[in-house]
Structure 1
Amino acid sequence: MAVTARGASDPAGPTVADAIRRAIADGDFAPNQRLVEAELSEQFDASRATVRNALVQLASEGLVERIQNRGARVRAVSLGEAVEITEVRMALESLCAAKAAERATEDDRAALRDLGAAMKAAVASGDVLGYSELNRRLHARLLAMSGQRTACAVLERLQGQNVRRQFRLAMHPGRPQVSLPQHLAVIDAVCAGRPDAAEAAMRAHLASVIEALPEVEKSPRPYTGA
């Protein structure tokens, strides 16, 4: 993956940060993995100064940990932090679900119903990876519909810190069967234009996530259905 960047003050600098952030979110860089400036510079076709600035930015977001005289590494998020992050998600995504119910257009409702139908089909066929992607798309669609830019910015930052645990949760045996009716309840409430019900449904869903996190923590590896 190449990212063009020309120097420390270059406007392309944030693009390098975005690329590293995405690599962390996608699992290309694992928790506690060292991030070597020279290697990142080559990988993303950027200057060392630009990479260094990107790592400083990501450290401020909690994605990267800088250790004196040892460089940088991907920060590992503890179970306690993961619970706190999900509690913040509960507050903000519940608000966004309510706002989505107030603002939903006919096109929005049709898109949500299509996502719900696809999620049902994925669970019925045992397609856990497909269900995980649909899960991500549903939450993203609701945030976009809400029009809550500040909440969305905070959630985007938190997503990067917790994405690996969210993926493990999505892959956990039996989890899709638990979360599917919860997601469908959110969809139904939003499509019906019921903000209070949408907020309650999202809150119940994320409370379920919090309850499941300790169990997922004990799982040695993500479940792939194989």
Structure 2
Amino acid sequence: MAVTARTAAAADPAGSKVADAIREAVTAGDFAPNQRLVEAELSEQFGASRASVRNALAQLATEGLVERIQNRGARVRAVSLDEAVEITEVRMALEGLCAAKAAERVTDDDREALRDLGARMKAAVTSGDVLGYSDLNRRLHARVLAMSGQHTACAVLERLHGQNVRRQFRLAMHPGRPQVSLPQHLAVIDAVCAADPDAAEAAMRAHLRSVIEALPALEKPR
């Protein structure tokens, strides 16, 4: 039986840590799209064995974050604008579903956590803390997905996130974007807390439709 990349990663905790480190480096822009990922260099950079680096690259290839080219090694996979739009369209359908499910399952503890996130997001926008807002944005989406109990949708979304993570980070950093997305996120929070599945789905879909409309701005030179 063939060993999958995830199975290999599970058997190699060091490889999983290297995969996490590469993923974070791609998100932060330390590794650029189409940049070659040389095993020997990564092994030295992250203090891991070549085998662990190889397992990490195999795992990231299954996520769509890394592209492996025969006889040429691996490189960071570049995601085109058209593909980024398609990924976000799929997210819109699945995260809309998850928001509706979260509204059906919401508890008092969930409401408290969501409202706390909303208050902190407001404070981050007011203070100009763009990085803090980006982190809270990620945590809000993760919280709604966890509340939904929709494991199949969450697994698909996890894979899509890996493919588009750098563009999502760049969009979160784009000037003026937090002021646009904050009321959209608050609308999702309000609908989920009100246990209104239809409104929660509509709010999440509206937010991600706004993301799709904003993506082309990232392609324009500053």
After TM superposition, is the score higher than 0.5? Answer: yes
Which of 63, 73, 81 is the matching residue for 2:83?
Answer: 81
Partner SS, residue 193 of structure 1? coil
Counterparts of 1:219 and 1:87 in 2: how far apart (Å)?
A: 24
Counterparts of 2:95 and 2:158 in 1: how far apart (Å)?
A: 11
Contact kept? 2:9, 2:16, Cα under 8 Å: no
Q: Deviations over 1:124-169 (max 9, x none)?
A: 2222222211111111111111112221122122112212211221
1:187 to 1:57, Cα distance in 2 relative to 1, 3 A: same
Q: Deviations over 1:3-55 (max 9, x none)?
A: xxxx9995334443344333333433221221110111223333212322321
Residue 149 of structure 2: aligned partner = 147
Which of 116, 123, 140 is the matching residue for 1:121?
Answer: 123
Residue 52 of structure 2: aligned partner = 50
Larger fraction in helix:
2
- The answer on 1:109 being equivalent to 2:111 is yes
Counterparts of 1:65 and 1:181 in 2: how far apart (Å)?
A: 37
Deviates most, 163-172 or 23-32:
23-32
Which of 167, 180, 193 is the matching residue for 1:178?
Answer: 180
Q: Deviations over 1:152-209 (max 9, x none)?
A: 1221221122122112211222211211111111000000000111001000110011
Partner SS, residue 61 of structure 2? helix
- Structure 2 counterpart of 1:93, one-letter code: E
- Structure 2 counterpart of 1:197, one-letter code: A
TM-score scaled to structure 2, two decimals? 0.88
Counterparts of 1:14 and 1:58 in 2: how far apart (Å)?
A: 10
Partner SS, residue 48 of structure 2? coil
Q: CA RMSD in A?
A: 2.0
Counterparts of 1:215 and 1:42 in 2: how far apart (Å)?
A: 37
Contact kept? 1:182, 1:204, Cα under 8 Å: yes
Unaligned runs of 5+ in 2: 1-7
Residue 37 of structure 2: aligned partner = 35
Identity of aligned residues (%): 85
Counterparts of 2:130 and 2:24 in 1: how far apart (Å)?
A: 22
- The answer on 1:195 being equivalent to 2:197 is yes
Residue 3 of structure 1: aligned partner = none
- The answer on 1:90 being equivalent to 2:92 is yes
Instruction: State the 1:106 CA deviation.
Output: 0.7
Residue 164 of structure 1: aligned partner = 166
Contact kept? 1:25, 1:160, Cα under 8 Å: no
1:123 to 1:14, Cα distance in 2 relative to 1, 3 A: closer
1:124 to 1:64, Cα distance in 2 relative to 1, 3 A: same
Unaligned runs of 5+ in 1: 1-6, 221-226
1:18 to 1:122, Cα distance in 2 relative to 1, 3 A: closer
Partner SS, residue 115 of structure 1? helix
- The answer on 1:206 being equivalent to 2:208 is yes
Deviates most, 137-146 or 191-200:
137-146
Counterparts of 2:126 and 2:93 in 1: how far apart (Å)?
A: 31
Query: How many matched pairs?
Result: 214
Counterparts of 2:10 and 2:218 in 1: how far apart (Å)?
A: 42
